Structure 1
Amino acid sequence: MSEINKAVARRFYEEVVSQGKLEVLDDIIADDGRDSATPAGGELGGGKAGFVEHITWLRENVEGVTATVTDLVAEDDRVVVYWTIDGIQRGEIFGAPNSGRHFNGVSISTIRFRDGRIVEYSVLPDRLGIVQQLTAV
């Protein structure tokens, strides 16, 4: 099951985040899935809506966003994903106003699965590193 979960995690970043294929969420998110990384802090609750909100916000605020998985570690029902984000800022990100600057950053996500579908998603981005790139004089 760990290999299936890793493949689903990779698909989330490659197809949903980088390519904007929101329809893929129907295949990979459990009905009670929860994205705690939505801009409103996961206020939409479970299901696909929170993931749609998160990805829509990201793609509206980061032009040409690309997420690249650099490593996956899986055990039991969890996958830890090490990944990078790359793009051009087009909206407020982590409190930094639009600068139009290119940035890249490193993030670590934890994804919990049930029956090959995502039930819980959380991410820890390098906020300081990204904000420094966006606000540097």
Structure 2
Amino acid sequence: MSPSAGTIFRLWFEEVWNKNDTDRITTYLAPDGIIYALDLAGGDAQGPDAFRAFFEQFMESFSDVHFTVHEVMETEDMAAGRWSAQLTHSGDGFGFPASGETVTVTGMSMIRLKDGLVVEGWNEWDRLRMATTCRMVAPPA
């Protein structure tokens, strides 16, 4: 029996993000699975290779990355949860020079499973806080 959607949601953040285990991407993400709204521009990634490319660029740009999953709600094939992440902008990826700033961002994600794998994932998170704290954009007046 496959783990529940809520369990996979939690494992994704713990194993892929917190443990930086890129081998787990293919454990949880279907070959044609799509993750929406990953980056500051709201870009998507379809399939494990595209997600891995985003993930590696992200980890080159940010260090000390740690996600905390606060709550998860689930149905049969879907899970949604609220999370926060603390990270330091230590690299020059994504077209912005490293600021050295540490930032905490909050967000919510939702996943849909098919045959025990994520086939769709949606993300909404505080892109403005990250962009202004890390000096990627000027703060609002």
- State the TM-score, normalizing by the size of structure 1: 0.83
**Post-superposition offset of 1:87:** 1.2
CA RMSD of aligned residues (A): 2.6
Whether the 8 Å CA contact 1:83–1:106 is kept in 2: the answer is yes
- State the TM-score, normalizing by the size of structure 2: 0.81
**Post-superposition offset of 1:38:** 4.8
Find the counterpart in structure 1 of residue 4 from structure 2: 4
Find the counterpart in structure 2 of residue 16 from structure 1: 16
Question: 5+ residue gaps in structure 2?
Answer: none
Q: What is the count of residue pairs matched by the alignment?
A: 134
Letter in structure 2 aligned against 1:78? M
Deviations 1:33-92 (A, max 9, x none): 1122455823x6x32112212221221111111111111111232211211111110246
Find the counterpart in structure 1 of residue 111 from structure 2: 111
Letter in structure 1 aligned against 2:62? V
Q: 1:108 to 1:61 in 2, by over 3 A?
A: same
State how far apart, in whole Å, the 1-side matches of 2:36 and 2:61 are. Answer: 18
State how far apart, in whole Å, the 2-side matches of 1:95 and 1:124 are. Answer: 21
State how far apart, in whole Å, the 1-side matches of 2:67 and 2:93 are. Answer: 16
Deviations 1:78-130 (A, max 9, x none): 21121111111024688764211111110111111112210011211111222
Question: 5+ residue gaps in structure 1?
Answer: none
Q: 1:81 to 1:107 in 2, by over 3 A?
A: same
More displaced 10-residue stretch of structure 1: 7-16 or 71-80: 71-80
